[in-house]
Amino acid sequence: MTTYLLRRFALGLCVLIVSMLLLFVLIYAVPGDPAAIALGPRASEAQKAFFREQMGLDQPLAMQAASFLWNLLHGDFGTDILSQRPVADLVFAALPRTVTLAVVGVIWAAAIGTPLGIWAALRPNTFIDWLIGVISTSVVALPAFLMAIYALILFAVMLNWFPAIGAGEPGDLLDQLHHLALPAFAIGVAWVGYIARLVRVSMLETLAQPHVRTYRSFGVSDLRIALRYVLPIAVVPVISVLGVGIGNLLSGAVLVEVVFSRPGLGSLAYDAVLSRNFPVLLGAVVVTTGLYVLANFLADALIAYLDPRLAEKG
């Protein structure tokens, strides 16, 4: 178990380093002169050259990448071109809001989607199974930003039940929750259907295994078998899919944060793209990648706990 987790952790670190290097190269390969954008059209060549030197843009790409990684290791994410503030400050101020949004989105989706999937699996090929199938498939197809816009129009503008923009007053938990409701709803809707479908298939597969019949032949009730003994096995593939799906969810969060003008990693990255603020963009994406790797590691750890066979195989 411990070696399995250590291996998974090392793998996560490798993924993190490789993806950061790729990101760095990609962002700097994009056309457009950051010096010209940062300093404006009327800046002189000398000013631009000074800027490039200051930001290290005149170094070879490999050197830039190496020093970027080296600085990251020391917690130095670079400097915001516009405000001259350390990127780390901006990114870590935004991080908790995005994490809250993603986690609340996934939790409410799992809380609704899992029981729906179980219900459908216990009554396969009946009307209720069909109905749950239709609803899940329809919501899976809805992109988060579209849900965000509809939710905004309906619940914030027309009904005025929830605030339309922002993340709420700092320190006022109730106000923050009030502001969180619509974005979390928008992010999670598609996941309700996705999780319901995954859970249904996985439950049906596990219910067909011979050891389930053993429980039945010992007179254990069907509901107890499904919830206590089949579900913990059936959620294993669902968790690994969710671990990978966190990436999807984070990219959904970017657009949802933009729609609701909610400060977070998404809107930070979005604004940085518009203003060609490379260090901020890199910082936001690096932290997002870190979140993704962390989510995968947590998923692996949970799976190892639920299925000891996997941990032994490595």
The contact set with other proteins (CB under 8 A) reads 209-211, 213-221, 229, 232-233, 306-309, 312
Give the residue with the Cβ less far from other proteins, 160 or 217: 217
Give the residue with the Cβ less far from other proteins, 86 or 237: 237
Match 């000013």 to its residue by tokens.
47
Give the residue with the Cβ less far from other proteins, 2 or 218: 218
* Cβ burial, residue 14 (10 Å; 0-12/13-18/19+): exposed
Minimum Å gap between C-beta 196 and other proteins is 23
Q: Are 252 and 145 in contact (CB under 8 A)?
A: yes
Cross-strand pairs, 86 = 79
Cα 102 from Cα 93, distance rounded (Å):
16
Query: CB within 8 A of 144, min separation 6: which ones?
Result: 186, 187, 189, 190, 252, 253, 255, 256
Give the residue with the Cβ less far from other proteins, 42 or 309: 309
**86 in helix, strand or coil?**
strand
Taking alpha carbons only, the member of 44, 232, 273 closest to residue 265 is: 273
Minimum Å gap between C-beta 214 and other proteins is 5
Q: Are 105 and 187 in contact (CB under 8 A)?
A: yes
User: Which helix (H) or strand (E) covers residue 181, if one does?
Assistant: helix 173-207
Minimum Å gap between C-beta 207 and other proteins is 13
Minimum Å gap between C-beta 16 and other proteins is 30
Minimum Å gap between C-beta 210 and other proteins is 4
* Cβ burial, residue 48 (10 Å; 0-12/13-18/19+): middle
Minimum Å gap between C-beta 119 and other proteins is 18
Give the residue with the Cβ less far from other proteins, 238 or 255: 238
* Structure token pair of residue 34: 């950051």
Give the residue with the Cβ less far from other proteins, 257 or 300: 300
